[in-house]
Amino acid sequence: MRPIDLCPYLSLSRLRTRLSRSGRAKSNLTLKTTFLSVTCLLLGGGPGYADSTSSHLAAYYDRKMLLCDRTAYQWSGDDDPRRVAEQVIQVGVGRDASYVLTKAGVLLTWGDNLDETQEVLDQVIWFAAGRSGVFAARADGTFMYVARPKSSFGEGDLLQPEKVGVSIVTASIGDSADYFVTNDGTLFVKGLAHRGQYGDGKLKPSDAFVPVASAVVAIKAHTGHGILLRQDGTVMGTGGNIYGPLGRHGLGDKAVSWGPIFHEADAIATGSSHSLAIRDGTLWHWGRDIGLDPVQVLEDVVAAAADQSSSLALLKDGSLWQWERGQQPKKHFQCR
């Protein structure tokens, strides 16, 4: 089974519901549909299963990737993006590893040396990467996990793929807990629970994936916390919240249950201590060095990502913007 098409993040039925609830004129529906169509044309799809809000952006700790048309770029910090692969349909990163999914359905990875690229799996249609490994959905409907056991402070060697399930439509690899969502909107989690990562009120981990939420369309996780996006546009979070990636929910320590952070969102992303959401093309952020309440930061945004200390945003004109938490966005690159 192919993943749910979340491009352009929002179904027309949900658009009509939101516009009716807010009392906007019918002309606004046409305007918004036009904007979202432009988003799809630029990105070639806006899958909710990517590591960020889109298959065209990835960021984790200090490693970043961008997909312009079918060309993948990679960089760290404030360096200039450099071309690393062609004929790519999705990019992803872990702390010390980069990933690309080729048009032919082959998932590739490399560390600091691009010449040492390895094939992870073939017949892949989407993936979600992180520090401890990578999830991969295959064309036959199976959902695989390839672990990278931590060695010191980074990823280790790839282990043999193992089947996790079927009919899974989105997923996220966290530093401590991993998540996936089945096609009925049920969220499952496995891994550490000491920071409230499960959101079920308990701090006890499970050896198997267990259901912890419903009506979910996207899930993003990072250092001890996770945020999800519900079908109604509500952003909720659970887990560690010392610095505010969950807003005011469990601030100063941790949240042990899913709590609301933001509303009417279309897509989400989270870093180690701050989070992002896209609403009607506007980008909002909150967390460390920003504030506990979501603040609008950019317009005309079609994709966004967050890492250890910075944020990325891809605008509908193809420009990439990058900035450190608490600072103003700066144009960093232009997709041609």
* pTM across the whole model: 0.87
pLDDT at 209: 97
**Diameter of the chain measured on Cα atoms:** 57
pLDDT in tens, 114-143: 999 999 999 999 999 998 899 999 999 999
State the pLDDT at residue 336: 80
If the chain, 336 residues long, is cut into consecutive pieces of 10 residues, what is the mean pLDDT of each piece? 34 41 44 38 44 91 95 97 98 94 97 94 96 94 91 76 95 94 97 97 95 97 96 98 97 97 97 97 98 98 96 97 97 94
Please report whether residue 103 resides in a domain: yes
Contacts by 68-71, CB closer than 8 A, 24 or more apart: 68/318, 68/335, 68/336, 69/44, 69/335, 70/103
For residue 314, give its domain range.
12-334
The confidence score (pLDDT) of residue 40 equals: 41
Q: What is the pLDDT of residues 144-181, one digit of tens each?
A: 999 988 765 557 889 999 999 999 999 999 988 999 99
| Residues 201 and 193 sit within 8 Å (Cβ to Cβ) | no
Instruction: Kindly state whether residue 298 falls inside one of the protein's structural domains.
Output: yes
Give a yes or no: residue 7 inside a domain. no
Residue 170 lies in a domain: yes
Query: What is the structure's pLDDT at 286?
Result: 98
Eight-class DSSP state of 41: H
Number of domains in the chain: 1
Q: Is residue 2 part of a domain?
A: no
Is residue 81 assigned to a domain? yes
Let me know if residue 1 belongs to a domain: no
| Alpha-carbon separation of residue 38 from 35, 41, 44, 180, 244 (angstroms) | 5, 5, 10, 29, 33
Burial class (CB in 10 A: 0-12, 13-18, 19+), 265: buried
Q: Report the pLDDT value the prediction gives residue 77, as an integer from 0 to 100.
A: 94
4 inside domain: no
Which residues partner with 334 through β-bridges?
319
CATH code assigned at 264 = 2.130.10.30
